Amino acid sequence: MSGKQRGPPKHQNKFAWKPNSGHKINPTEVGGRFRPLSDVTGVCPRCKDQIEWKRRYGKYKPLTEPAKCQRCSKRNVRQAYHNLCSGCAKEHNVCAKCSCRVDQIVGRDISEVEAEQKTLEEAIKNARERERRTLLRAMNKGTTQSSATPPTNDNSKVGDIFTASTLEEYAELSRDDCSDKDEPHIVG
């Protein structure tokens, strides 16, 4: 008897399968609400899809301690399913999981994230109290979305309050405003 079935499935699933649907998740554990899983960075798009699939279907096992890099033999690998540390992967321009040479790497480096945090803190420091609170509110709301892009709702007042479309532009504008305060203003 042949087990091969051709064509579409006989019955369509009514809802998607969810791992651990009957189990209550502790919000303080890794993957819970207070300690979400980190972003997948330093890999090619194909490997990112594989890791996301593992997360979606309950197969993902996060690292408990750093793993050993296969190039430099140091314990620098901090993300699960990665074979190379971020330094070796960036130096050799390869994917940290499959070690194949790629042009497009998914995610940002830690140094880029730190640089963005610095510019954001500078923008907040130079802003007025009202704008600072609005920025902090937008950042807290935008943890699920990207914090650099403002919402695009038609009812949004972001364009009215902030003339800049990105946080970098806002930081530049606030720096320009501070330099203008040193010069005397002539009222005519």
| Shared domain check, 30 and 91 | yes
Residue 64: inside a domain:
yes
Residue 38: inside a domain:
yes
Residue 7: inside a domain:
no
The 10s digit of each residue's pLDDT in 115-152 is 888 888 888 888 888 888 888 888 788 654 444 444 44
Residue 2: inside a domain:
no
Contact 45, 107 (CB under 8 A): no
| Shared domain check, 120 and 58 | no
The residue range of the domain holding 123 is 110-142+157-179
| pLDDT, greater one: 26 or 2 | 26
Residue 151: inside a domain:
no
Residue 4: inside a domain:
no
**Average pLDDT of span 168-185:** 59
Residue 13: inside a domain:
no
| Shared domain check, 119 and 70 | no
Contact 109, 86 (CB under 8 A): yes
Copy the structure tokens of residue 123.
């923008």
Place of tokens 């907040």: 124
Contact 87, 76 (CB under 8 A): yes
Q: How many domains does the chain have?
A: 2
Q: Which of 85, 34, 81, 89 is nearest to 55 (CA)?
A: 81
Give the model's pLDDT for residue 90. 87
| Shared domain check, 44 and 66 | yes
pTM: 0.56
The pLDDT confidence band at residue 70, using thresholds 50, 70 and 90, is: very high
| Shared domain check, 26 and 58 | yes
